Every structure is written in C-alpha cells, then in structure tokens.
Amino acid sequence: MASPVSGAGQAGGDDTMTVRDMTLVALFAALTAVCAQVSLTLPFVTSVPFTLQVFAVLAAGAILGARRAFLSQVVYILLGGAGLPVFARLHGGTAVLMGPTGGYLWAYPLAALVVGGAADIAAQGRERKSFLTYVYPAMGAGILVIYGLGAVGLILAGVVHTLPRAVQVGVLPFFWFDLLKAYLAGVVAVRVRSAILPAGREAAGQSLGHTHP
C-alpha cells in the first residue's frame, strides 16, 4: 500500500485512499468553503461575487495531485448541494448549483484535476524542470475551465443571453484577480509540498532555485 504521505501529493500505483489522503481531501474541501466566505460583490461591475474559492481550488490541485484535489472539490459540491452553508455568503442547496454561479462551482473539480495532473507529472521528477513550470500553465488552463463553465452557467440561468456578454460580466472583471490568486496558490503549494510531502521536496526545491529543501 502506498504510504499516506506519498499518496497525497503524487500519482501512485496504488489507488487505495489512506487516512491521510481522506484527511487532506476533507481539509481542502473545508478550505474552499472558508475561502467562499471571503466574498465581495461590486454591483456596478458584475453580479458575480469576488471570492477566494479559485485560490483554494488551484492550491488543492498543486498540493494534493489530481485524484485527491478532484475529490476535495467533489466533496465541497456535495456538501453544498446537500444544503450545508458552504457556498458564498453561507448559502447552500441545489438552487445555488443550478443558479447563476453554478457553472463556476461545477467547474471546480475539473480545474483541480487539471492542475493536479500537472503537479503529479512534476512530482515524478523525470525532468529537471521547476515544479511551477508545470503547474502555472495548468493553473491558467484550470482558470479557463472555470471561466468557460461559469459563462455557460450565466447564459443558462438567464443572467445574460450572449457569450460576449457572459464574458464581459463573468470573466473580464475577475481576470487579473484570478491571476494573482494563481500566483499565490503556486507559492503556497511549493512551501506546503516542501514542508509536508517528502516526494514534493525536490520539485519544490527546484522551483525555488535550490537542490535541497
């Protein structure tokens, strides 16, 4: 059986979920819920609230790897769908998932999977490249996934009626803010992997310009 630590941060040959894996999945589901409560809406800009959820999603992918990160966001959605107040402004229930911001929420597991896949590749250490060389482009792709499904959700909910308008309302106001969140998620991921995931220490050291943690 894969050890709890190695299973948490990289792809492995054993699909068994360890206690540590499940703890990390739950932890990042909770982190996403907490980040959702850091919410600000600017009515004169967009009806979609600014939150820190994207930071949590990207950090989950970079730290946990594909499977655990994906599961953490699935757990988050299931908790919210069950009615727990884990979505922005302490909301919960299927109405949120089917509402204007539902597209963004449904995209979180996919975005975490994309980033986590890149983190898994980096952790294999087959090439002497920076961990963030893999992860930052994947974070960009993950953000595009969130934007794409988010824009579709706005259209389906009737908030807007055209894709250009959906981009204007649900993408452009968040672009630079989300790039900042991606940068911070990468920095945090390097530090966390170096501290708690032995398999990630070498990759983390490379990204910081060192050969040892």
Distance of CA 131 to the CA centre of its chain: 17
Domain boundaries, the chain: 4-207
Over residues 20-25, the mean pLDDT reads 94
102-124 and 131-156 are packed helices; what angle lies between their axes, rounded to 10 degrees? 160
Least confident of 9-23, 100-114, 150-164: 9-23
pLDDT value at position 193? Answer: 87
Name the residue with higher pLDDT: 183 or 131: 183
User: For 4-207, which CATH class?
Assistant: mainly alpha
Confidence of residue 44 (pLDDT cuts 50, 70, 90): low
Least confident of 42-46, 51-55, 166-170, 184-188: 42-46
pLDDT value at position 198? Answer: 57
Determine what percent of the chain is predicted with pLDDT higher than 70. Answer: 80
**pLDDT tens figures, 74-128:** 999 999 999 999 999 999 999 999 999 999 999 999 999 999 999 999 888 655 5
Please choose, from the candidates 47, 172, 167, the residue with its C-alpha nearest in 3D space to the C-alpha of residue 99: 47
At position 129, the amino acid (one-letter code) is K
With contact defined as beta carbons under 8 Å apart, do 47 and 33 qualify?
A: no
- Per the prediction, the chain carries an average pLDDT of 85
Confidence of residue 47 (pLDDT cuts 50, 70, 90): low
